[in-house]
């Protein structure tokens, strides 16, 4: 991933606004993005065992050589993919509440939504594969810690939680653990009905606990 970072040094918010980008850079960026999105979809559908650089390149309509130019190893491709889509979803979550702290029921519901759907499924496959694969484990551990910290920060902001008060940090953490557990419960069956009721009740509990 450090290789990728060197090739793509712009912070996200600058992308698309720089007037001096060449068409070649644009094409390269578009290729990279197609690969990342195909990688997440592939992980979600086929799991780690069925996800290779070749399969993803085909799905993205990119040559294997071009894919390897962007992502030298399978681990590079899939960790970058989960990271990319996590960042996209974090940005989308913030964008839902442009004024920051908002109605807690709406925030709880939107945060839980992060953990249902293809991204969570893809991340879960990567996570579980990493628990048995030495090559993958340190990278996924580091990635999960980073994504987890960012999600915690967003949840604290949007819930208007005052972490200087005792217990508030753990209250928010437990809520995020619950959100991940709800994602897990949605893996094999459509759990939307039950989830809606749990979210309503826990939003009320959080409202009381956070004051």
Report how far residue 38's alpha carbon sits from residue 154's, in angstroms, rounded to the nearest whole number: 27
Q: Does residue 93 touch a copy of itself according to CB under 8 A? A: no
Q: Does residue 132 touch a copy of itself according to CB under 8 A? A: yes
Q: Does residue 52 touch a copy of itself according to CB under 8 A? A: no
Stretch that binds a copy of itself, among 4-12, 55-63, 87-95, 172-180 (CB under 8 A): 172-180
Contact 144, 133 (CB under 8 A): no
Rounded to whole angstroms, the maximal C-alpha distance in the chain is 56
Question: Which residues, other chains included, contact 127 with Cβ-Cβ below 8 Å and sequence gap of 6+?
Answer: 140, 144
Question: Which residues, other chains included, contact 78 with Cβ-Cβ below 8 Å and sequence gap of 6+?
Answer: 39, 43, 48, 51, 126
Reported residue count of the chain is 211
Site string for a copy of itself, 19-48 (x = CB under 8 A): --------------------------xxx-
Report how far residue 191's alpha carbon sits from residue 211's, in angstroms, rounded to the nearest whole number: 29
Q: Does residue 78 touch a copy of itself according to CB under 8 A? A: no
Smallest gap from Cβ 165 to a copy of itself, in A, equals 11
Stretch that binds a copy of itself, among 12-20, 24-32, 90-98, 179-187 (CB under 8 A): 179-187
Provide Rg for the chain, Cα atoms: 19
Q: For binding to a copy of itself (CB under 8 A), which residues are involved?
A: 45-47, 49-50, 121, 124-125, 127-132, 137, 140-141, 144-145, 167, 170-171, 173-182, 184-185, 187-189, 194, 197-198, 200-202, 204-205, 208-209
């Amino acid at each position: 991933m450090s290789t990728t970072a060197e090739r793509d040094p712009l912070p996200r918010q600058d992308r698309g606004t720089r007037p001096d980008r060449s068409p070649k850079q644009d094409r390269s960026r578009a290729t990279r993005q197609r690969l990342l999105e195909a990688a997440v979809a592939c992980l979600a559908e086929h799991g780690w065992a069925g996800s290779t650089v070749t399969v993803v390149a085909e799905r993205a309509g990119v040559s294997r050589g071009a894919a390897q130019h962007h992502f030298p190893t399978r681990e590079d491709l899939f960790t970058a993919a989960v990271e990319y889509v996590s960042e996209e979803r974090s940005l989308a979550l913030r964008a839902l509440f442009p004024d920051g702290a908002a109605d807690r029921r709406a925030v709880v519901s939107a945060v839980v939504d992060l953990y249902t759907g293809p991204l969570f499924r893809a991340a879960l496959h990567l996570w579980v594969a990493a628990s048995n694969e030495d090559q993958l484990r340190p990278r996924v551990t580091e990635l999960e810690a980073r994504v987890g910290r960012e999600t915690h920060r967003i949840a604290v902001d949007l819930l208007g939680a005052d972490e200087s008060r005792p217990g508030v940090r753990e209250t928010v953490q437990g809520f995020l653990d619950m959100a991940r557990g709800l994602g897990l419960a949605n893996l094999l069956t459509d759990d939307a009905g039950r989830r809606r009721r749990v979210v309503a009740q826990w939003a009320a509990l959080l409202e009381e606990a956070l004051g």
